[in-house]
Amino acid sequence: MCMIIIPQIRFEQRLLRALSPSHGRGLIYVWAVEQDDLSKRAIPTEGPSANDGQDVLVPWVLKSQQKSQQQRKKKTKDRSSEELSKAETDVPTPNNQEQDPIFNRYYHMFARGELRALVCEAAEQMDLWVGDQAEPGHQRGLEIVQDGWERSNYYIELRLWEQI
């Protein structure tokens, strides 16, 4: 079994081409417009876009490599109480501390049923039957094993099949 991560599946056919046509399986998770109470994401769920997917820009803080290495060293170092008290007095204030750059990442938040429809559309464009392999008269297809919502994400498990 091969596991792949496709952060944006706006290119529908790439999704199915990433799987083996005779025995491929896939599990896809995407962010949902509907967020649970534990989510850190705040997505508006009112207005005309409540039932549609939404394109959003998600802030992403790029930690500098030097700072990351220093933080790792601090975690692994065993420091004496002398070093600790010295470090406490040497802590820089927020005014002279360098700010990490913040970048906005594009992401599409999916609405209920949108992921399933996207997968079905991609399958149909590739001349794949959407349904169980037991259905007579079809040589190749895609079976949706399960789909649903879990912790602010939609997921879909799918299986490609081919009659021999």
Q: What is the pTM of this model?
A: 0.63
In DSSP notation, 18-35 reads TS-TTT-EEEEEEEBSS-
Question: 33-67, pLDDT tens digit by residue?
Answer: 888 888 776 655 444 555 678 888 888 888 877 66
Round to whole Å and give the CA distance between 26 and 130: 15
d(CA 102, CA 87): 27
- Average pLDDT of the segment spanning 140-149: 94
Domain ranges of the chain: 12-53+109-162, 59-103
At 89-130, the pLDDT tens digits run: 555 545 556 788 888 888 889 999 999 999 999 888 888 899
Q: How confident is the model at residue 29 (pLDDT cuts 50, 70, 90)?
A: very high
Q: Is the pLDDT of residue 5 over 60?
A: no
Mean pLDDT of all residues in the chain?
A: 75
